[in-house]
Amino acid sequence: MKRYCINLLPVMALLLLGLSCTSPEEIVPELDDPIEEDDNVEVAIPLKELFKDYFPIGAAVTPQQANLGTPHGQALREHFSSITAENVMKPDALQRVKGQYTWGNADQLVKFAKDNGMLVRGHCLTWHAQSPDWMFYDENGELLSKEVALAQLEEHITAVVSRYKGDVYAWDVVNEAMFDWDPEGVIEYREDSPWYQMIGETYIDSAFVYAHRADPDAKLFYNDYNSIFSWKRHKIYNMVKRLKDNGIPIHGIGLQGHWNVNTSESDIRTTLDLFRTLDVEIQITELDVPVYLSGDEPGAVEYNSTFSFRQKAAYSMIFQVLLDYSDLITNVTFWGIGDDHTWLDRPDRKAFPFLFDEDLKPKPVYFEVQKLVQNQ
């Protein structure tokens, strides 16, 4: 039997989300109510069909998933028109040992995409993380000179972008270069990055130039998280404006979209309005929306009605915004496929951040998003 009550945490979330709590649909189920089975009786329209008039819809994948012999491969082919390598195109995956490229996994993803008519976003060419030590340090553990560091960066970017020329249509050329938690907005760049320490901020400029030389047709992106917060969006704006003013070939900004169930709608809209003035494309590159209101909320390992309720509200808000800005947004990619595999999970706390459950079946929130798109 279904039990309903007014549960304080979700009500607070509702207030935060600016929703009123008046209609029967908005009564919040108790935290551990099971999901109603008949939520799933509708027929799911494949995501790529649903969004075909708006933007390609993508997923980050592992090589194991990009295989039609697995449920993940089948789900990818049915629902997604774009893929991103979750890890295997990062610097430490492609050139862990200097001069020895390991292309196998990345090649497999690209072949899977081509065989199944999908776009490929390349992630990522320049990052302070998941990069081999030789890119930063000499044999004595000292930071490399600017000249050596730039020569190695040019070699890496040229090799990688050239190999996938014509196959990877968009690259995250530089990932997460701006300083994160700084509400005063004083520190612009992530100064703990070896790239910044060796070269200063112009490593960003150089990376874009190298990538453009290797594939003049590829769309080149700066990619970051927390980009919708006021203190960070302005740093990204200033940096991209500087690049554009200097004639550096940058075509877009990737908003990673590691959002949550109380992400602010006005933060997203304000950011999109600001970035629009830069005359660049926007891609949502790593979308996931975990079910918790905060890091302190006790974790759960079963999905429940409260989580579903929160995610329906959050994903409906997010996709309404993305549809409203679809003239600006040229790709929306989830950072995974289904709730069985996500970087957000901990043993005692599952994040359930996607539209598909752990068995890759559409969740109730999927049908909520479907309804939203159909009602445009």
Residue nearest to ligand G3I (CB): 343
Phi and psi (nearest 5°) for 302?
-120, 140
Nearer Cβ to ligand G3I (153/255): 255
Whole-number Cα distances in Å, 320 to 51, 230, 246, 304, 312: 12, 21, 35, 24, 12
Number of residues that bind ligand G3I (CB under 6 A): 9
State in angstroms the smallest separation of the CB of 344 from ligand G3I: 8
**Pair 224, 175: CB distance under 8 Å:** yes
Q: Name the residue nearer to ligand G3I (CB basis): 129 or 151.
A: 129
DSSP assignment of 277-341: TTT-EEEEEEEB--S-SSTTSPP-SS--HHHHHHHHHHHHHHHHHHHHTTTTEEEEEESSSBTTS
Binding residues for ligand G3I restricted to 219-238, rule: CB under 6 A: 225
User: Which residue of the set 188, 201, 286, 368 is catalytic?
Assistant: 286
Burial 299-308 (b: 16+ CB within 10 A, else e): ebeebbbbbb
Q: Summarize the chain as % helix, strand, coil (round to 5).
A: 40, 15, 45
Query: In the complex with ligand G3I, which residue's Cβ is closer, 48 or 258?
Result: 258
**Binding of ligand G3I by 86 (CB under 6 A):** yes
Under the criterion CB under 6 A, does residue 84 sit at the interface with ligand G3I? no
Fill in the per-residue mask, 114 to 153: x = in contact with ligand G3I (CB under 6 A), - = not in contact: ---------------xx-----------------------
Q: Is 286 among the catalytic positions?
A: yes
User: Residue 286, interface with ligand G3I (CB under 6 A)?
Assistant: yes
**Footprint of ligand G3I on 24-43 (CB under 6 A):** none
Q: Supply the minimum distance, in Å, between the C-beta of residue 176 and ligand G3I.
A: 7
Cβ proximity to ligand G3I: between 260 and 370 the closer is 260
Scan residues 335-354 and list those touching ligand G3I (CB under 6 A).
343
Shortest spacing between CB 323 and ligand G3I, in angstroms: 24
Q: What residues between 41 and 60 interact with ligand G3I by CB under 6 A?
A: none
Measured CA distances, 304 to 31, 81, 334 (Å)? 6, 30, 21
Nearest distance in Å: CB 86, ligand G3I: 5
Taking the least distance from each CB to ligand G3I, the nearer of 271 and 305 is 271
User: How far is 173 from 163, CA to CA, in rounded Å?
Assistant: 15
- Which residue in the set 256, 306, 308, 330 belongs to the binding site for ligand G3I (CB under 6 A)? 256
Query: Nearest approach, Cβ of 3 to ligand G3I (angstroms)?
Result: 37
Q: Catalytic residue at 36? A: no
Longest dimension (CA), the chain: 70
Contact 277, 249 (CB under 8 A): no
Which of 87, 116, 270, 304 lies at the binding interface for ligand G3I (CB under 6 A)? 87
End-to-end CA distance of the chain: 35
**How far apart are CB 311 and ligand G3I at their closest, in Å?**
19
> Which amino acids are annotated catalytic?
176, 286
Residues that bind ligand G3I (CB under 6 A): 86-87, 129-130, 175, 225, 256, 286, 343
